[in-house]
Each structure stands twice: as C-alpha cells, then as structure tokens.
Structure 1
C-alpha cells in the first residue's frame, strides 16, 4: 500500500494548503501556516505517514515522520 505523505505548501490564492502526495487538489486551505501544520500533523499521525512543511519558495522547511516507529523523526533544512 502506497503512503500518502502530507505536504503543507503556499497556496497560489494566498494562505497555505495541505496536499497528499500526488494529489492535484488540496485537502484543505488555511490562512496561517501554523493552522495548516496542525491539521496536517494530525492527519500524518493518524495515517502513519510523513509530513513535509514547505517555505513560500517551495523548498522543504522541515519534515516529520509518523511512520510505524514509536517516536517521530524530525528534520530541519537550513
């Protein structure tokens, strides 16, 4: 079964969107990035997938793994 990692990305219309990997449409949109991250983190925990938070320029700001292991891995890029 393929995992649907979650991505928090800047929305073209403004604000922030939560997308599943490979999805063309957002699962939900938010005005603030912090609200989008909170929602996406809950989904990633429930689905045991990865969460990628992007900057406005599209680069990965941080990632969290909620895969089958018991403690989440965290990463941060520059």
Structure 2
C-alpha cells in the first residue's frame, strides 16, 4: 500500500470517527433533554437513570445484583 493510499484511508477513518462522535454528542444532548423534561414533570431523574441501567442488564445479572444488594443491606442493618 502506498503512502498516499494509506494516508487517504487514515483520513477517511478519522472523518468517519468525527462524524460518529458528532452524532453521539447529538444523541447525548437529546437524552439530557428527555431527562430534563421528565424532571420538569415531577419525575426523579436519578431513579429513572437507575431503571434504565437495570433494564439494560440481563435478567440473571439483575437478579444477582438485587440479591447481593439485599445481602449487603441486611449486613448493614439498612432494612
């Protein structure tokens, strides 16, 4: 591969990454707007973020995390 071809390929990769980073920023802004709207309507954003995180987890992993949290809460007398 010639230096010119390699440089062109590298430039194209960099430009693709830059476009994707810009899209990612736009999506992050949209998500922030949705959370702000939810907060304005009286919802607790911290809890919503926790729910979103839980919904991303596999059922087994979520159950395991719940069981571990319950064990730690009991050990610390938080119930």
Q: TM-score, normalised by structure 1?
A: 0.29
Q: Which has the higher helix share?
A: 2
Name the one with the larger strand percent. 1
Whose Rg is larger?
2
Could you say which structure has the greater relative contact order, defined with CA pairs below 8 angstroms and 6 or more residues apart?
A: 1
Task: Please give the TM-score of this superposition, normalised by the length of structure 2.
Answer: 0.29
